[in-house]
Amino acid sequence: MFKKLFGGGSSPQKIDDAVTYFFAFSLHILDQEGDGPFNLSESEKFDFRRRYISESGAEDYGVMFFAKIECESTSFTNYHLQQRTVSQIGVCADPVVIHGHPIVEEVRRHLSRTI
């Protein structure tokens, strides 16, 4: 029960879902107006999360799961904005996440320790 509520021992499918959501959220951030750094409101995050789950058919792993990923994705995206390397996000994730791409694999390793 503890692991289900607070994370740890995540299944490969859950990690795949986390990676896909991470990049979907990152691309959503990049769609915002302005030059960044970005920090979406809780309402904006909630709206995106609900729309994403509904449209993608992804499993709803709960608020804490998605909140952790949103935080990590926001930091990642703002870092790439600051470094002027946003194109790297698009290369590995737009229109679909390219599993096996070095950036995607780095995110996968990080998220597998985080969620």
The pLDDT tens digits for 61-75 are 999 999 999 999 999
pTM summary value: 0.89
pLDDT 10s digits, 77-100? 999 999 999 999 999 999 999 999
* pLDDT of res. 86: 92
| Domain range for 75 | 11-31+38-114
In a domain, 16, yes or no: yes
In a domain, 3, yes or no: no
Residue at 76: amino acid letter: F
Mean of all residue pLDDT scores within the chain = 91
> For residue 15, is pLDDT > 50?
yes
Tell me, yes or no, whether 108 lies in a domain. yes
CB burial of 31-42 (b: ≥16 within 10 Å; e: otherwise) equals eeeeeeebebee
Domain assignment present for 43 = yes
The CA distance from 101 to 103, in Å, is: 6
CA 46 to chain centre: 13
Q: How far is 36 from 17, CA to CA, in rounded Å? A: 26
| Structural domain total, the chain | 1
**Per residue in 18-45, pLDDT tens?**
999 999 999 999 999 888 789 999 999 9
